[in-house]
Amino acid sequence: MAQTSVNIRMDEELKKKFEEFCNEIGMSMTTAICIFAKKAVREQKIPFEVSAEDPFYSTANIKRLEKAIAELNAGYGKSHELIEVESE
């Protein structure tokens, strides 16, 4: 079967980490991407779950909220009372 080239653009840090991962498991990036393409074509879908994480429920956001609550409970920081105002 004839070979062809594919050029892709990705974040430099992501490429570096992906290259390191591929080296650790003993394959090239080209082989990894070809495996992905073959599986996607065979299954006619992305071969893994793709989802958008709700930013409100992200792990980082939850940790920040938990830290803020703990600081307030410990007496650090400021808490504000919500005042409802009637609109005309």
50 band by pLDDT with thresholds 50, 70 and 90? confident
29-43 helix and 12-24 helix, angle to the nearest 10 degrees: 90
Residue with the bigger pLDDT between 56 and 18: it is 18
Residue of 35 and 74 predicted with greater confidence: 35
pTM of the model: 0.56
pLDDT mean over 72-82: 76
Residues 6+ apart with CB under 8 A from 18: 10, 29, 32
Domain ranges across the chain: 12-73
pLDDT given at position 88 = 67
